[in-house]
Every structure is written in structure tokens, then in C-alpha cells.
Amino acid sequence: MQYKKISIEECEGVYSPREDSLLLAKTVEKYASGKVLDLGTGTGLQGIIAAKKGCKVTFADIDANALKCASANAKTNGVSGEFTKTDLFSNIKDSFDTIIFNPPYLDSKNLSQHKSRNYALDGGVGGREMINAFLKAYSTFLEEDGIVLLVESGFNLYERDVKESGAVVIAKEHYFFEDLVVLLLKARPGG
């Protein structure tokens, strides 16, 4: 997959960049700065874009295979960073100027039943479990003037997050059966 001058090798079992990834990539190009956490990095596309802008990037994922894929793609594109295996923020110790997150946002009941959970797609009940966990925790890992770039779907009731967290919709596209958005969030006062 080619995104502008970035070459991304897709890896078996790792979420391949799709419409949501490309929508997020445009906002990463515009807004990412400083020390960046690419949470749920997958192939590493977002972190690579940020690194090409001069950001210091931590590529993070729950899946060791995804981290291997992101590392290979970073090397191919001439960038480096830290690679951390983590379940959401469990192994994250630093704070960041920008947190990028394209969470799994599909409702578990709408996914075919596999023996193992597909972490790239399964957002739990209502597709909100991972989003809700992220929203409860992100401020602890965000610098005072930092931002979050978060992908959500119309199916996840992103309007609620806009209302409750003060998020701003900075990108929106309609694809076939859903609206995809990128929300920009800031640190909550008091962490």
C-alpha cells in the first residue's frame, strides 16, 4: 500500500490501512507534533507519518506481530522509534504531545465468532468498550497542551463524545453505510 511517499507492507493478521486509516493519516499530517504515541499502531502508518514530520514516536500495540510489521515498515521508510507491546496504556510510562488512536470500533456481536479475539476489529459491546477505556485513561498520558487524534464511527455515537468531552470533529467522511470521523481531544483539567 502506498500513501503519498510512504510505502506500507501489509502483514498477515495485522489490520491493513483502510478508509479510517487514510482519514486519520490526513489529520496526523496536519496536527501531530512533538512526542507521539501511535497506540494500536498496526502496520505503523500513522507513526511513520509523524516520524517523517520530525516527531519522536512510540509505536505501541497489543499484538507482537503488529509491532514486528510496524518496525519493518518504519525501517523501509527510513524512520525509527520505540516499539512497545501494551494493552491500551498498561506498559506506557511517558506522557505525549500527541496520541494517535484508531481503536477497534466494531460491535462484538456483528463479528463472526472466532476462537480468538480480533483485537484490530473487536470493540466489544456496542463497539465502545475500547473507546470508553481509552477516554477514561488518556489524560494521564497527555502533556498539558497535548492533543489526541481519535477515530470513531457513527455507529459508536461519536456525537456523545463530542458533547461530553469537548472533542472537536476535525475530519469526517461518509463511506457506504457509515460516517467516519477523527476527533481532536485535549487534556482534561486535573488529568
pLDDT tens digits, 141-164: 999 999 999 998 887 778 888 998
Residue 173 counted as domain residue: yes
Taking a C-beta distance cutoff of 8 angstroms, is the pair 46, 102 a contact? yes
Cell of 76: 523501509
- Mean pLDDT, rounded, of the chain: 88
Its sign, for the CA torsion 185, 81, 4, 67, is: negative
Q: Sign (positive/negative) of CA torsion 190, 132, 24, 183?
A: negative
Domain assignment present for 68: yes
Q: What phi, psi does 22 have (nearest 5°)?
A: -70, -35
Q: 71: domain CATH number? A: 3.40.50.150
| Residue 164 resides in a domain | yes
Higher pLDDT pick, 97 / 187:
97
Give the mean pLDDT of 20-34.
97
The kind and range of the H/E element at 74 are helix 64-76
What pLDDT, on the 0 to 100 scale, is given for residue 24? Answer: 97
Q: Is residue 29 part of a domain?
A: yes
Whether the predicted pLDDT of 190 surpasses 90: no
Domain coverage including residue 98: 2-6+15-186
pLDDT at 125 (0 to 100): 59
How many domains are contained in the chain? 1
Residue tagged 506522557 (cell numbers): 95
Over residues 44-68, mean pLDDT: 97
pTM: 0.89
Grid cell listed for 181: 470521523
CB-based contacts of 147, cutoff 8 Å, min separation 6: 31, 97, 98, 99, 184, 185, 186
Three cell numbers at 103? 481503536
- Residue 115 pLDDT: 46
DSSP annotation string for 36-72: EEEET-TTSHHHHHHHHTT-EEEEEES-HHHHHHHHH
Q: Does residue 191 belong to any structural domain of this protein?
A: no
CA distance 165 to 170: 15
Examine residue 108 and state whether it is found in any structural domain, yes or no.
Answer: yes
Residue 172 within a domain: yes
Query: Is 67 contained in some domain?
Result: yes
